[in-house]
Structure 1
Amino acid sequence: MAVPHDVADLGLAQAGVRRIDWAERAMPALRRIRERFADQRPLAGVRIAACMHVTAETANALCTLRAGGADIALAASNPLSTQDDTAAALVAEYGVSVYARAGMDQVSYDRNLATVLEGSPHILLDDGCDLVNIVHRERPELLPGITGGCEQTTTGVIRLRQMGAEGVLQLPMVAVNDTATKRMFDNRYGTGQSTIDGIMRATNAMLAGRTLVVAGFGYCGRGLAERARGMGARVIVTEVDPVKALDAVMQGYTVLPMEQAAAEGDVLVTVTGNRDVIRAEHLAQLKDGAVLANSGHFDVEIDLNALESLAVEVRREVRPQTDEYVLADGRRIVLLAEGRLLNLGAAEGHPAAVMDTSFSVQALTVAWLVDNSDDLTPGVLDVPDPIDVDVAQLELDALGVGIDTLTPQQEDYLHSWRV
């Protein structure tokens, strides 16, 4: 009998298995960790509640945790990213309780988040801080039984740090997003490629010779700008941080305030983790046919209410995940993936090779949380450096890449002030 679940169709399970197996081919580091976990069983008896994108890559991560002995309940972190066949396979073939359907409404989304917490979890795996928020606001009785958790998005870490600053965070939460490997692979290379993929799938538009505006020049924005420039686009960057803006200038990008950039952009993509990055005053400057997209976690970076109020007509689904808003002056504004996370709403998210690194860090961090539960205090914690190094070495081994090691003399030199 299948584990408890709420998925679209268990009949899709075999298609999901094929999708999961295909992704697994590009996830060698996670595969080695799974073998290690199967042998050592570091998560035996541990209950995990997860709010994550229900994709083949996530499935491989959860199968690794299952190999370590964990019992897992999963809810979707975005209704547009759920792969119904992957959800079915996780339930029918891999013993993971999944509560997710592609395109589900907000009521179902909230219900599923509540459901995965009903098992009184020991560990939270969050993607946007939703589970942590619910536990603190609505289910505080669960807090004493929770060892801690992991947060894998910039948006979620921002929320956690604010909770910590206000003294309300009552759990040890590890900022998986902030590791060097996660920022390099997931945020920079992953978001850069998968966002371009989402734009191309949704619009079939050519980027060469067009102007693409990147709002935010963090790791995600930097990766997107690099890849857009590689496609032949002219790239404009908008920023609020003088240091990041200077970095963009020194890398050869045009840096403008959004009010000016909006008038020049053919495609505008927000990747900030903040809200109202593109507002009514910016919408008023847009060209006819301008494309709006968001690769930040939540659908608040573009002011959708302002866009709706300015429109005299909305043409839904002119292409898959592409809506067209017609303004009073006849200008047409194109919105991709409902303003939600573009790279998962209109594409398939990061390549499996990218998620191999991120999920390897997360798997090892979960085991570390369990092993060190008695010594942890509430707050936002960094991933221990040895985990980051371990994962990087696993990836290099999988690629067949060798590196140098320090000689004893070099070690001594680096640890002494006497020369």
Structure 2
Amino acid sequence: MEEFHIANPALADQGEEKIAWAWRFMPVLKSLQGRLKGGLPLKGVRLAACLHLEAKTACLLCALKRLGAEVFAAGSNPLSTQDDVCAALVARGVRVFSWHGMTTEEYFANIYSALAWDPHVIIDDGGDMIVMVHEKRPDILPQIKGGCEETTTGVRRLKAMAREKVLQIPVIAVNDAYSKYLFDNRHGTGQSVWDAITRSTNRLIAGKAVVVAGYGWCGKGVAARARGLGAMVSVVEADPHRALEAYMDGFSVLDMDTAASIGDIFITVTGNIGVIRKRHFVKMKNDVLLANAGHFDVEINIPELEELASRKFVSRPGIWTYELPDGRSIHLMAEGRLVNLASGDGHPIEIMDLSFALQLLSALYIFQHDLEPGVHKVPDEIDLEVSRLKLETLGIKLEAMTPEQESYMREWRE
């Protein structure tokens, strides 16, 4: 078996600088590592991860290793892998199988290489590693204690597997933790999407007509930050509750057919397929910008855009321009992949400090408990603990209820 497969081990020093910077601003993960390290609670555990391999993720993988785990990692997106970070991880003893710009075939081969080490615990982002275990490595399913899933798309896939009774291991839906909705999905996605767009395009957001497709927790963050930057924001939604919420939050709510002709910037955050397609491309204004913030590159129908275009070319790093026969141009960011990681550095460090603390504690919980196969919620004590630890690092004290107040809240009599 390969020990590792990366682009260039000589980039380790450059990657170390990135990891050191991220670690400075991850007090919650640092606190957990310090508290747990003495007992080496993961000693003897083989842990495989399929995550976005950048500096913040490296901090999680190194923390897991310091707690005793043997760690194997594959990238969860061909364009989010940072080769210098991978080199630094290999130098630290993590077995990494990934490089920037992998083909689809190489991407799945690298996940398989990580699984070749027969893990006991899996940390996944998007569900590809857990799906591959079931389809390609069912022989190791009996030894797998369980897994954790980081993102909305992955949780959706796992719940579909559970409904069809094919999911044979327990998986904790880290994405569904209330603290992750509040911080990672809303504030993390909201800031990182606009950071990637403004950094990559050097365009002004104020005054632009921005269309946000999807008003889940991620969409809420993207829409709120767009309004904060001075954009005129419209929301496209299929769910009546979310559509009404967007309306009550002060946004225009449109269908995509209507929005297609008025938008300057379109951002998909639905987790669904074909949200923007041919019937919408033909209505769009000249020089519109398309970006996807969902996990997979399926929300914008790129094959249909390719069919419409008479020419395509790279106009800026990470931006493909599609020229249509009538002279209009449509600009696609990051090949329709996850824009905040493919064209930026992903969520802010302080946000991933919280999310990776959830991942670490959930992975430890999976290893220490015997759970039934299926999708499980993050235990409330873990969800609350991460928020409490964050407040402690900020020097914020919670109000303590008196015994009388606690009794009153439990009582039904006046």
TM class, shorter-length: over 0.9
Aligned partner letter, 1:400: G
Aligned partner letter, 2:229: M
Q: 8 Å contact 1:37–1:64 — kept in the other structure?
A: no
Aligned partner letter, 1:63: C
Aligned to 1:18: 17
Cα distance, 1:91 vs. partner? 0.5
Cα distance, 1:164 vs. partner? 0.9
- Of residues 346, 350, 355, the one that matches 2:352 is 355
1:36, 1:65 → 2: CA distance?
13
Aligned to 1:178: 176
Residue 390 of structure 1 aligns to a residue in which SS? Answer: helix
Q: Deviations over 1:118-140 (max 9, x none)?
A: 11110111100001111111211
Aligned partner letter, 2:408: Y
1:379 aligns with 2:374: yes
1:57, 1:121 → 2: CA distance?
22
Q: Deviations over 1:330-351 (max 9, x none)?
A: 1100000000000001111011
Runs of 5+ in structure 2 lacking a partner?
none
Cα distance, 1:37 vs. partner? 2.5
Cα distance, 1:185 vs. partner? 1.1
Aligned partner letter, 1:411: E
Q: Within 5 A, what are the aligned runs for 1:269-284?
A: 269-284=267-282
Aligned partner letter, 2:411: S
Residue 249 of structure 1 aligns to a residue in which SS? Answer: helix
Residue 297 of structure 2 aligns to a residue in which SS? Answer: coil
Q: 8 Å contact 1:37–1:65 — kept in the other structure?
A: no
Cα distance, 1:411 vs. partner? 1.0
Q: Deviations over 1:55-93 (max 9, x none)?
A: 11001111111111000100000111111111000001x
Q: Within 5 A, what are the aligned runs for 1:213-232?
A: 213-232=211-230
TM-score using structure 2 length: 0.99
Aligned to 1:62: 61
- Of residues 293, 299, 302, the one that matches 1:301 is 299
Cα distance, 1:265 vs. partner? 0.5
TM-score using structure 1 length: 0.97
1:122, 1:172 → 2: CA distance?
12
Q: 8 Å contact 1:37–1:67 — kept in the other structure?
A: no
Aligned partner letter, 1:414: M
Aligned partner letter, 2:266: L
Aligned to 2:93: 95
1:408 aligns with 2:403: yes
Aligned partner letter, 1:279: R
2:143, 2:217 → 1: CA distance?
35
Cα distance, 1:328 vs. partner? 1.3
Q: 8 Å contact 1:76–1:99 — kept in the other structure?
A: yes
Aligned partner letter, 1:379: G
Q: Deviations over 1:375-397 (max 9, x none)?
A: x1011000000001111011001
1:136 aligns with 2:134: yes
> 4+ residue stretches of structure 1 with deviation over 4 A?
none
1:321 aligns with 2:321: no
Residue 291 of structure 2 aligns to a residue in which SS? Answer: strand
1:163 aligns with 2:161: yes
2:406, 2:163 → 1: CA distance?
38
Cα distance, 1:324 vs. partner? 0.3
Runs of 5+ in structure 1 lacking a partner?
none
Aligned partner letter, 1:88: A
Cα distance, 1:407 vs. partner? 1.0
Aligned to 2:310: 312
RMSD across aligned C-alpha pairs, in angstroms? 0.9
Q: Within 5 A, what are the aligned runs for 1:259-278?
A: 259-278=257-276
1:345 aligns with 2:330: no
1:388 aligns with 2:370: no
Cα distance, 1:184 vs. partner? 1.1
Q: Deviations over 1:29-51 (max 9, x none)?
A: 00011112211211110001110
Cα distance, 1:222 vs. partner? 0.2
Residue 310 of structure 2 aligns to a residue in which SS? Answer: strand
2:204, 2:73 → 1: CA distance?
38
1:65, 1:410 → 2: CA distance?
40
2:266, 2:259 → 1: CA distance?
9
Q: Deviations over 1:175-233 (max 9, x none)?
A: 00011111111110000000001111221110100101000000000000000000000
Residue 263 of structure 1 aligns to a residue in which SS? Answer: coil
1:182, 1:356 → 2: CA distance?
11
Cα distance, 1:165 vs. partner? 1.1
Bigger mean CA offset, 176-185 vs 215-224: 176-185
Bigger mean CA offset, 160-169 vs 211-220: 160-169
Q: Within 5 A, what are the aligned runs for 1:174-253?
A: 174-253=172-251
Residue 189 of structure 2 aligns to a residue in which SS? Answer: helix
1:230, 1:383 → 2: CA distance?
32
